[in-house]
Amino acid sequence: MTSTQTRRARESVDVPSLFAVRDAVQGQPEIAQFQFRARNEWVSGTHNRSTIQGFFGPGQEDTTRTEPFRYDADHPAVLIGTNHGPTAVEFLLHAIAACLTSGLGNIAAARGVTLHRVSSTVEGDINLLGILGLSDSVRNGYRQIRVNFEIEGDASPEELAALVEQSRRRSAVYDVLVNGTDVVIDVNVPSAA
Amino acid sequence: MTSTQTRRARESVDVPSLFAVRDAVQGQPEIAQFQFRARNEWVSGTHNRSTIQGFFGPGQEDTTRTEPFRYDADHPAVLIGTNHGPTAVEFLLHAIAACLTSGLGNIAAARGVTLHRVSSTVEGDINLLGILGLSDSVRNGYRQIRVNFEIEGDASPEELAALVEQSRRRSAVYDVLVNGTDVVIDVNVPSAA
């Protein structure tokens, strides 16, 4: 292990800032209320594109993202699409891996653990009888999602595994995927001009 | 409205294929079992990157995606990140908008409704007291997600709104976000060579 590798994890997370944010929120709990957003435009068929940029928090509109992030979604041909992007359900798999891994990066830094490598694979099983409307007893969504982490770092196997466990305990995406949340859908049909 | 616009929605979804897929699955329900996947690699700090390409179904490994899709995730500075990508929770907002919109594209085609425009905005509220570990009574994930659609097409307001409702009824992402699912997390710590 080179000294460059040693420095990598510690430099990449600003530990004093991590505790500063926590202290700031503790002293002023009302700034903990965040709102995230996305905007999606239909392109054609099953192909559509989301734009993500602004969010609200802490206590004000964020202006640090100078460019929007854009993501296409589509279906493969077997689901009557054109492969311009992954399916929406695959973005759920990205989200759970990303949330656990981002949290793990912060927790490792806070605990002084230098990470060398963190990889994860995510699998999700869906029976399409649900979304095709061919069965009332099969759900539309994933029956199960499995996340498998491989971690290498300067700590015992137990300490490295504990990073994943702590990240799971504080993961927003894990919470939503396991416990569900309230989703409200509204439709506006602009009157023809 | 030009004839190009009129053709757009109908040409972009292959309606005979849509029913052919449904009929094929109905005749051979075991091919309805799909598995989607993602792979994620930690980059540094809260920055990580997912790769999405292969999936299993119907009845075989898909080979139609010749290039992998790659997505960075990160935190903003206020959450101790470097803005190399959106946060994981924002990908959940992309996923719900994309799933409802892809489904809507297929349903409109099946019903012979020509769409001119479909846009949606998604907002999600999270109180960070949960993920910062500052409150036992505040959840980690979204308290609520709101999706607002605007739709223009050659159908009555009621028919256009009904497209969203039918898409919601068959949405895999809506089901997971509202009802939750089983998420299993494993950790492998390769022994030091």
Q: For residue A12, what pLDDT is reported? A: 65
Contact B164, B148 (CB under 8 A): no
Per-residue model confidence as pLDDT tens digits over A13-72: 777 788 888 899 989 999 999 999 999 999 999 999 999 999 999 999 999 999 999 999
Please report the pLDDT score of residue B12 as a whole number.
65
Using the beta-carbon criterion (under 8 Å), do B187 and A40 form an inter-chain contact?
no
At residue A164, the pLDDT reads 98
pLDDT tens-digit series, residues B7-63: 444 446 777 788 888 899 989 999 999 999 999 999 999 999 999 999 999 999 999
Q: CA nearest A102 in B: which residue?
A: B46
pLDDT of res. B20? 87
Is A178 in Cβ contact with B176 (below 8 Å)? no
Per-residue pLDDT of chain B (193 residues; tens, 9 = 90+): 334 444 444 446 777 788 888 899 989 999 999 999 999 999 999 999 999 999 999 999 999 999 999 999 999 999 999 999 999 999 999 999 999 999 999 999 999 999 999 999 999 999 999 999 999 999 999 999 999 999 999 999 999 999 999 999 999 999 999 999 999 999 999 875 4
Report the distance separating Cα B45 and Cα B41, nearest Å: 12
Whole-number CA gyration radius for chain A: 20
pLDDT at B17: 84
At B134, list the tokens.
Answer: 């500052």
pLDDT per position as a tens digit, A79-104: 999 999 999 999 999 999 999 999 99
Q: Are residues B130 and A175, on separate chains, in Cβ contact within 8 Å?
A: yes
Mutate which of A31, A67, A89 to disrupt the B interface (most B C-beta within 10 Å)? A89
User: How high does pLDDT run on average in chain A?
Assistant: 92
Q: Do B171 and A39 touch (CB under 8 A)?
A: no
Query: How far, in Å, CA of B115 to CA of A154, rounded?
Result: 56
CB contact under 8 A, B151 and A104: no
Provide the pLDDT for residue B2.
Answer: 39
**What's the per-residue H, E or C state across A152-182?**
EECCCHHHHHHHHHHHHHCCHHHHHHHHCCE
Instruction: Give pLDDT, residue A192.
Output: 55
Query: What are the tokens at A140?
Result: 């539309």
Cβ pair B40:A120 closer than 8 A: yes
Q: Which residues of B touch A60 (CB under 8 A)?
A: none
HSE-CB at A136 with a 13 A cutoff on CA atoms is 0
Provide, as residue numbers in chain B, all residues whose Cβ is less than 8 Å from the Cβ of A118: 41-42, 48
The predicted structure's pLDDT at residue B61: 96
Q: Tell me the three state secondary structure of residue A53.
A: coil
Q: Compare CB distances from B121 to A21, A37, A100 and report the shortest one's residue.
A: A37
Q: For residue B10, which residues of chain A lie inside 8 Å, CB to CB?
A: none
Model ipTM? Answer: 0.93
Instruction: Please confirm whether the linkage preceding B29 is cis (ω < 30° from 0).
Output: no
Rounded CA-CA distance B4/A181 in Å is 41
Residues of A in contact with B142 (CB under 8 A): 172, 176, 181
Contact B145 A18 (CB under 8 A): no
Q: Would you state the pLDDT for residue B18? A: 82
> Residue B192 has what pLDDT?
55
Looking at residue B92, the DSSP 8-state letter turns out to be H
Distance of CA A100 to the CA centre of its chain: 8
Cα distance between residue A132 and residue B129, in whole Å: 40
